[in-house]
Structure formats: structure tokens, C-alpha cells
Amino acid sequence: MHPCRGRAWFMRVEKETSWRVRGPVKIGDVISIRVRKYKIVNVEPYYSKTGSRTKLITWLGTCVVCGYQFHFQSGAKFWPTATCPEHRGQAPRGKNGGQVEVLADG
């Protein structure tokens, strides 16, 4: 008997939106993605698993469910996290896409 018999086995394709951080990164910079603001609170040197030198960025965001401020880290590829660890996966669904705006300090 085939191991998947009796279970639906469908391919799923999901859109993941990621952004790439390019250029100089400064502590205190704030960006806005999909009306959510993220502040850079720390930047440190980092070596990728391939040995390339890059940066590890610590971001401060605000949970769209409870309003709690939380930290998360990324490299040059950035997924805009909308929720604190307690509410991960509970963000209200909206349209994918959106504009990125880099704001002055604070």
C-alpha cells in the first residue's frame, strides 16, 4: 500500500515576501513596510555559512496582535515579522506586496 493512500497529497505554493537590505545600515534607522515600522537597534559583523562577510541586524518591531515590542534578527534578507513570538502565525491576512519607505532616525 502506498504510504500516502487515504491522505490528500497536494503541492502547496505560498508567496513569501522578503526584502534585501542594501547599502549602509545605521543603528536608529527606521523603515516602514506595509505600514509597520521596524527600527534597527544593533548591527554586528557576521560570516555566512559560505564564509561571506555580511551583517547581522537586530530589529525592533511591534506586534500587530497585542502591541508588544519584540526583537528579531536578520541578515541581508529580511522577512517583515508582524507578530511577537507568542502570536507568531496569528497576524491578520492582507494583500501581499507593499511599499518600503526608509525613514530618518526614530
Query: How far is residue 90's CA from residue 82's CA, in Å, rounded to a whole number?
Result: 9
Q: How far apart are CA 57 and CA 94, in angstroms?
A: 26
Domain 19-88+95-103 maps to which CATH number in 2.30.30, 1.25.40, 2.40.160, 1.20.1460?
A: 2.30.30
Decide which of 14 and 91 is more confident: 91
pLDDT, tens digit (0-9, with 9 covering 90-100), for 54-83: 899 999 999 988 999 999 999 888 887 888
For residues 18-36, average pLDDT: 87
Domain assignments of the chain as residue spans, ordered by start? 19-88+95-103
Dihedral, CA of residue 30, residue 36, residue 41 and residue 47, to nearest 10: -100
Residue 100: predicted pLDDT: 44
Question: Are residues 63 and 84 in contact, defined by beta-carbon separation less than 8 angstroms?
Answer: yes
More confident residue, 32 or 34: 32
Residue 38, pLDDT score: 93
